[in-house]
Amino acid sequence: MAGDLSLIDTAKYVAARRAADMVQNGMRVGLGTGSTAAWMVRRLGERVREEGLAIKGVPTSTRTAQLARELGIEVVSLDQAGWLDITIDGADEFDRELNLIKGGGGAHLQEKIVATASDQMVVIADAGKEVETLGAFPLPVEVIPFGWQTTRTLIEEVLDTMDVLGTRSALRMNGEAPFVTDEGNHVLDLHLQRIGNPRQMALVLNQVPGVVENGLFIDICDKVVIGYGDGRVELRDINEGTVELDELFDGGKDNLFTDLAD
C-alpha cells in the first residue's frame, strides 16, 4: 500500500517507527493504545515477519490485543510476562518534565499499570502534543458506575480547591450510552484548561471514593520520541538529560500505516 501522508500522519509515523526500532529480540513489550501506538504495533509486526523478531507483547486494551494478534505478535498477559523491558505508548499531552495526560481512548487504567511494570516507558507523539502546562486536553478519570454522579460531585468539590482554570466535568458517551472501559467502568472528562500542580492533582483525585484511576502519568515516562511533519524525529531522555535528533525517515511511500484513521 502506498500514498503520501499528511504532515501530522508523517509525524506520527516517524515517531512510531523510531520507538518500535528500540525493541530488541526477546523483549517483553507493553503495547500502547491509540492511533500513534497502533502504528508502532504495525511496525513491530513488520519486524516480526521480516526480521524474525521474537517478542512477547502485553497489550493495554482489547483493540490493541486484537491488532497485535492479527500482525503475528505473540500476546501474553501482564501476569504471564511478570515484568516488562519496555512499554511504548502515545500521549494526549506531555510537558517538559515528561508528565503526561493519557486516556483519550479510555485505556489509561491498563496503560498506567503496564507502564509502571516496565523498566522504561517510551512515549511516542507528534510535536503538537507538547505543552507548557498540562490541562488543555480534558483529564480522563475512570470511575465505577455505582454512584458515579456522587463521585462526580465529590470530584468537582475537590477541583474548587485546586490550581485549575476550569472545574467542569462531563460523562464520556458512546453514542447515546455512557462509554464503558475494558474494566466495565465509566469515564469522567475534566475540563480544567490548566493544571497548576499535576502531582497534587493525581494524588488527590485518587482519594475520592469511586475513582479508579486518573489520566495523569507523573514520573512514569522515561523517554519521549517526537515526530515532525518534515520527517525529523527527536528523542528526549529525561533520566540522562539528553536530546537526539535523527535523520529523516521516508514516511510518504510504501509504508504500512496509510490506511489507519487518525
Find out whether 258 is annotated in a ligand binding site.
Answer: no
Find out whether 133 is annotated in a ligand binding site.
Answer: no
Find out whether 3 is annotated in a ligand binding site.
Answer: no
Counting Cα atoms < 13 Å in the Cβ hemisphere of 239 gives 9
Find out whether 52 is annotated in a ligand binding site.
Answer: no
Instruction: For residue 76, report the phi and psi dihedrals to the nearest 5 degrees.
Output: -130, 165
- Catalytic hit among 50, 51, 74, 111: 111
Find out whether 112 is annotated in a ligand binding site.
Answer: no
Find out whether 103 is annotated in a ligand binding site.
Answer: yes
Is 44 within 8 Å of 57 (Cβ atoms)?
yes
Residue 130 appears among annotated catalytic residues: no
Find out whether 166 is annotated in a ligand binding site.
Answer: no
Whole-number Å distance between alpha carbons of 61 and 112? 12
Whole-number Å distance between alpha carbons of 128 and 159? 27
Whole-number Å distance between alpha carbons of 89 and 60? 9
Q: Give the SS3 label for residue 70.
A: helix
Find out whether 90 is annotated in a ligand binding site.
Answer: yes
> Can you say which residues are annotated as belonging to the binding site for substrate?
33-36, 89-92, 102-105, 129
> Can you say which residues are annotated as belonging to the binding site?
33-36, 89-92, 102-105, 129
Question: Known catalytic residues?
Answer: 111
